[in-house]
Amino acid sequence: MQGYRKYFTKKLVWFLITFVVAVTLNFILPRLMPADPVSAITGKLAAGNSDAKAVQKIYDRYAEEFGTNKPMWQQYLLFVKNLFKGDFGTSFSQYPRKVSNIIASAIWWTVCLQLPAILVGWILGNVLGALAAYLRKGWDKVLLPVSIFLSNVPAFGMAVTLLVLFAIKWKIAPVAGGYAFDQIPNFSWAFIKSVISHYQLPFWSIVIISIGGQAIGMRSMSIYELNADYVKYARFLGVKDRKIVGYVFRNAMLPQVTGLALSIGTMIGGALVAEIIFSYPGLGSTMYAAVTAADYPLISATTLIITIMVLIVTLLLDIIYGFIDPRVKAAQFDA
């Protein structure tokens, strides 16, 4: 048990160090962009205003309000202080909306789009990959090239293809948005149906691509395992195929679980392309808009969410691995 405690403490310390560095980078990186968001706000308000003095006054007022006229270290301290209060500040691009308010209204769309898509893609991909490895021949000959093709289609390419085919050409799916253009959110069947139909294209654009990658990974892992000595030995002993497939599947799964955990960790940013192309509401499009508008507080907040999720997921993985992976287990006890 001693070994475990040491192992976990070490992981936790690294977690905290990474966290502090990540928060600092989250603060600094957006601010290194050679853009002045206060100028953008001023421009929106004052473009074409003939009285230049009045425009300067507007600029000064916002610089003061956002504190961008203060030295960087003061801004950083303020940022950290507010962070502890759960206050991400006020958005520049959607001023005067609070960042937390923007995120709260966007995050559910992303979670509800990404989580099922990641899970379905993962399950389907792994099942198909395992089958390809096991069945080989005809099935593999079809699946492997198809998987390689699918996993190499860029996300935007897949999204645009689906959009053009299903929405524009065949008109069997809606073009954009989270629900129909003639609906107003309510708990009617018509509205729910409209949300489901708007959900399909972004959902499948994510699923189809992830199926390919997962299937390839699972296939090679399974082939590797199928040729392992223990499988040959089990066959030699006359163990039933079903049982062997069970062993192989469990062993081949290990790296796939890591992959799943990481994609859940990064899911907030992962739907960016699908969200943008289908005008789907969510954190991905929010983040994209924030980056193009040099909206520091909003960029920091969204990237911080991703950072924290990835950190938590990797920490959890490390902990779980400590228990389930015999190699890690052995290493800890050796130490």
Scanning residues 286 to 305, which ones bind other proteins (CB under 8 A)? 289, 292-294
Q: Which range of residues in 167-175, 226-234, 257-265, 316-324 is near other proteins by CB under 8 A? A: 167-175
Binding residue (CB under 8 A) for other proteins from 124, 234, 261, 262: 124
Binding residue (CB under 8 A) for other proteins from 7, 66, 203, 249: 203
Measured distance CA(288)–CA(300) in Å, rounded: 12
In the bound state with other proteins, the residue whose beta carbon lies nearer, of 202 and 259, is: 202
Q: CB count, 10 Å around CB of 142?
A: 11
Q: How many residues lie near other proteins (CB under 8 A)?
A: 89
In angstroms, give the least distance from the CB of 81 to other proteins: 21
Q: Is 146 in the site for other proteins (CB under 8 A)?
A: no
In angstroms, give the least distance from the CB of 187 to other proteins: 7
- What are 209's two structure tokens? 């691509």
Q: Is 88 in the site for other proteins (CB under 8 A)?
A: no
From residue 29 to residue 58, the character string flagging contacts with other proteins as x (rule: CB under 8 A) and all else as - is: ----xxxxx-xxxxxxxxxxxxxxxxxxxx
Measured distance CA(141)–CA(23) in Å, rounded: 47
Q: Is 96 in the site for other proteins (CB under 8 A)?
A: yes
In angstroms, give the least distance from the CB of 330 to other proteins: 35
Measured distance CA(306)–CA(163) in Å, rounded: 28
- What are 64's two structure tokens? 């003061």
Beta partners for 98?
Answer: 90
In the bound state with other proteins, the residue whose beta carbon lies nearer, of 86 and 138, is: 138
In angstroms, give the least distance from the CB of 72 to other proteins: 17
Which of 320, 198, 204 is closest to 260 using CA atoms? Answer: 320
Looking only at residues 239 through 268 of this chain, which bind other proteins when binding is defined by CB under 8 A? 241
* Burial grade of 86 (CB within 10 A; 0-12, 13-18, 19 or more): exposed
- C-alpha separations of 108 from 3, 121, 270 in Å: 40, 20, 14
Looking only at residues 3 through 22 of this chain, which bind other proteins when binding is defined by CB under 8 A? none
- SS3 category, 90: strand
Which of 217, 282, 277 is closest to 252 using CA atoms? Answer: 217
In the bound state with other proteins, the residue whose beta carbon lies nearer, of 23 and 208, is: 208
In the bound state with other proteins, the residue whose beta carbon lies nearer, of 273 and 304, is: 273
What spatial distance separates the first Cα and last Cα of the chain, rounded to whole Å?
11
Measured distance CA(210)–CA(25) in Å, rounded: 30
Binding residue (CB under 8 A) for other proteins from 25, 83, 127, 317: 127
In the bound state with other proteins, the residue whose beta carbon lies nearer, of 159 and 216, is: 159
